[in-house]
Amino acid sequence: MEAINAKYVSQKISKTRWRPVSHSSLQPPEIFATGSWDNEDNRISIWSIGSNGSTGMEDGFEGDPQLLCEHKHDGDVLDLQFLDQNRIVTASSTGAVTIFRHHQNSQTISISQLWARAHHYPCDNAPCTGVVCSSPEIVTVGEDGRIIVFRADQEGVIRVIENADSSTIHAVTYLRTTEILTVNSIGQLKLWDFRQQSNSPSQILSLTGDRVPLHCVDRHPNQQHIVATGGQDGMLCVWDVRQGSTPFSLMEAHTAEMWEVHFHPTNPDHLFTCSEDGSLLHWETSSHSDMPSFLQGGRNSSMVSRSAMAPAGGNQSLISAWLSGDSSKGRLETTHMLPSQTLSVNSLDVLGPCLVCGTDGEAIFVNRQVLI
């Protein structure tokens, strides 16, 4: 694990996201956006780690991220997504959903569209907690239990599912182009099908034990039925949404809330999680090798994976390595990626060989050579 340097930025970072690179170019990502929280003036900022941004860095030395531009943001940035190369959607603690446009030639940011009280209570503001987009459609969820569908460049709201949930919806992700998955604070995973007109979920999955709030969810990039979630107790659960209503495997990951879980978009044998306890774990699974599931010393630690049920038969090679809950069949390797003793790592994003994460210690860490 190579040294990873902190860049202190004078604002607590709540979200970081890489700007997507076009599929044709083979270059690693260079630009990322961050959102801050808990400040009197919160901001979204755009940073560059490319060589054009740095000023005369020594060769071979990883350049610090350089601030390109930033813009004031009303309320905490609770979620942030790139809509396309130039536009960013943010979810605010005031309940607003905003589209910012990044003008690359002048390196400025301006507000392109704003839905001010998208999420609200009858007489109060409700924070908007999650946003996911698949251009031009934007789906947001909030503490008011609503799911709202917007379309970029259209003023009004396309669809609202009122009272989708009686508790706070923490995160949302696309399962298929017309289906989304939400997680809430009573530990349920709900599947919503937009083709149906009803306002109830098409499927509800939850743990059989305690109703631990779930905070993050991510879908496997290639196999759309595999979903990973992380919750308040720091457990990483991998679910198969086709079968059954309980998770496939449960792994103890962190000692505090897990804030984000991400499959690597092009190499889904790798998974990354970050948590309130200040650690960022890199999970790697491979079912090919014969090595035992324990690993040699250093900073690696092997996590025990407990499966809720055995795979339902069929060809072993077709079943993803994530679902083989039995630890003797597969190997699961975890690595800590940050120096110890950081404050909570609130967010991470991984694209290609690059990883960026932001912490409550007002620091951003960029690792350009993640081993995948």
Partner 1 sequence: MGFAWGPGDILVYETLYKASGSGCSFIHEIRKDEDIYSPILRKLFNESHHIFVGLQTIREDLPSKSKKPQFVSISKNYRSVIRACMEELQQVAGNNIRCVSILLAIELIWNLCEVLFIEAAPAGSLLLHLLDWVRLHKADVDERAREVLQSESPAEHHDYWDVVVSYVLQGRLEEARQMLVKQATLQPAARSMYKQMDTLLSKMPFYNPGGTQTLTEFDVKWRHWHEEVDRSLQDNSFASNRHLELICKILLGDEDTLLEHKELLGTWYHFLVTRLLFCHPTVKPTELHYYAQSCMTMFLDSRSVPEPLDSILLAAFEFDIHQVIKDCSIALNNWWFVAHLTDLLDHCKLLQSHNLHFGSNLREFLLLEYASGLFTHHSLWQLAVDYFDHCPEFGRVYLELQIERVPLETERKALKVLRICEQRQMSEQVRSICKIMAMRALRNNRLGSALSWSIRAKDAAFATLISERFLQDYCARGTFSDLDLIDNLGPAMLLSDRLTFLGKYREFHKLYGEKRFREAAKLLLSLMTAKIAPQSFWMTLLTDALPLLEQKEVSHQQTGSVLWNLQSASPLVFLSLQEEDVEVTKVELLRLALARNLAQAIVKEGTVET
What kind and span of H or E run contains 259? strand 258-263
| Closest CA relative to residue 38, chosen from 13, 69, 8 | 13
Taking the least distance from each CB to partner 1, the nearer of 144 and 218 is: 144
Q: Cβ 369 to partner 1, closest distance in Å?
A: 23
Q: What is the distance between the alpha carbons of residues 185 and 214, in angstroms, rounded to a whole number?
A: 6
Report the nearest approach of partner 1 to the CB of residue 343 (Å).
6
Which residues are within 8 A (CB) of 61 and not within 5 positions of it... i.e. 6 or more apart?
Answer: none
Q: How far is the CB of 60 from partner 1 (least distance, A)?
A: 22
Q: What tokens were used for 196? A: 């149906």
Quick one: 2 or 40, whose CB is closer to partner 1?
A: 40
Count of CB atoms situated within 10 Å of the CB of 22: 7
Contacts to partner 1 by CB under 8 A? 6, 8-12, 14, 37-40, 76, 78, 93, 121-122, 124, 126-127, 129, 143-145, 163, 165-168, 184-186, 188, 190, 200-201, 204, 206-211, 213, 232, 256-257, 276, 341-344, 360-363
Minimum CB–partner distance for residue 264 and partner 1 (Å): 25
Residue 138 and residue 132: Cα distance in Å, rounded? 6
2 or 124: CB nearest partner 1: 124
3-state helix, strand, coil in the chain (%, to 5): 0, 50, 50
For partner 1, the closer CB: 187 or 330: 187
Nearest approach in angstroms of CB 364 to partner 1 is 12
Between 62 and 362, whose beta carbon lies closer to partner 1?
362
Minimum distance of partner 1 from residue 16's CB (angstroms): 16
Q: Which of 130, 268 has the CB closer to partner 1?
A: 130
Looking only at the bridges linking them, the beta strands covering 331-336 and 300-301 are: antiparallel
Locate the DSSP E strands across 185-322: 188-193, 203-206, 214-219, 226-231, 235-240, 249-252, 258-263, 270-275, 280-286, 300-301, 305-307
